[in-house]
Amino acid sequence: MKLKNRFILILRRSAYTIVIIAIFLLVGSVVHVSANVATQKFINSQYQNKQQGALITNAQLTRIQHLQNWSQKDRWALVFNQRTQKGLTRLLFLAHNRQQNDQTIRRYYDGRFYYANQVNTTKLDQTDNRLLLERNQTIYQRQKNHLDQIRIWYDQTQDAVKFLRPLLRTYHQETLTLSFEQVSQANAYYKLIKNRRLKQTWQPQVADLTKTFRQQQKNQDATKRAQEKAELAALKNAPLSQSYTPAKVTILDSFKAMDQASQDLMNNHVNATTVLFYASAQKTLTLMQRKGDRYTAASAAMAVQASSIASGSYKIAKVVTNPPSTAGIVTQPGQDNFGQYVADATNISSETNTETDFNQARPIFWLKNNPAFQTAILFNNGSTLGFIVAGSTLNNTITISSGDLLSLISSVNDGITLYVS
């Protein structure tokens, strides 16, 4: 009897064990299927385009990492099938690449307007290649725009250093007599430097160059004035028996032109300290400084190749050099900010017109639409806007050579008066 009871007890326990094992396998199977279905659904939701491997703009990197960690642990490895694990691995790779590209490009910036010291061509090229793994066009374009901005800053800085280094070396070794063009270009190139360390390195040298040039000009002006005075005195005191020898025509013409320009400014109640004077009759552009009750030339006259500007007084609104792709000019008449430069015009208008002629664009003219305006001087008077440029003859422009434009950009500032006679 005891043997029979013991046998029955063993059979009952075996049955319980079998039932428990069956329940465990059933639940485990349900968990296994449910976990894979839910994870596959999550993986699919992270793709904008599965075929091209394009993740959505706001892929959930933290959740992807958690699922990836769970799928690799021993106690969960059996729950996630091989297809799910491969999907998570690919998803994590793409999301990490996006995050790494963002972090890398962020490290290339040193503040908003400079690039970091470690930037070089090799690193820029490597990062450019890594961006190609990003198939989401919105993300790729954003990353590419930021990287291209760094590359532009880097390239223009290298160009500036290539110009400044031999000029300063020759200046220090040979104490050469500086020309207005050399000093103007040196200042223009210095403004193109977009690295803080290089900016600090070249600042005192360019400042010394400019100071020396001004002193040389001052000495030359004194010598020239003495020579002109002597020539006029000799002409005035010459006896009648002596044959007439005219003074240099260029001196008299120069005096006459400057006197006429000064008189024009005074008659039209222009009293600014510095004026950019455009003589439309002579087709010359001259920077002038007020001294007492008259104006004198502060630069050599620049030849104007073409012009279509009405006479009157204007203000320089912006000296434009390498503007960002979002930069624009407000061209809508009647607006309070008409004729103003805006670094990020997308804050004002979402219009994406492609007009290359600023006279036709409304309400914003995007500077990126015309290469001639990547380096230019914008001016306006509240009702009319225009540009001083090289290589464009649109209406409301003053066209000069590219060399003269660079020299002028290094000599003028926002707010200076432009007067058209």
What string of DSSP letters covers 162-203? HHHHHHHHHHHHH-PPPPHHHHHHHHHHHHH---HHHHHHHH
Average pLDDT over residues 290-300: 74
Q: Strands 302-303 and 417-420, how do they pair?
A: unpaired
Q: Strands 341-342 and 328-330, how do they pair?
A: antiparallel
Measured over the CA atoms of residue 392, residue 395, residue 401 and residue 403, the dihedral's sign is negative
- List pLDDT tens digits, range 352-384: 788 889 998 889 999 988 888 888 999 998 888
The residue type found at 179 is S
pTM for this model (two decimals): 0.48
Confidence band (pLDDT; 50, 70, 90) for 154?
A: very high
Q: Strands 397-399 and 375-380, how do they pair?
A: unpaired
The residue type found at 108 is Y
* 316 or 14, greater pLDDT: 316
Please say whether the beta carbons of 323 and 367 come within 8 A: yes
CA–CA dist 377, 366 (Å, integer)? 15
* 69 or 416, greater pLDDT: 416
Confidence band (pLDDT; 50, 70, 90) for 75?
A: very low
Backbone dihedral angles phi then psi of residue 385, each to the nearest 5 degrees: -125, 155
CA–CA dist 41, 357 (Å, integer)? 51
Percentage of residues in the chain having pLDDT higher than 90: 15
Average pLDDT over residues 103-112: 92
Burial pattern 268-301, b for ≥16 Cβ within 10 A else e, equals eebebebbbbbbeebbbbbbbebeeeebebbbeb
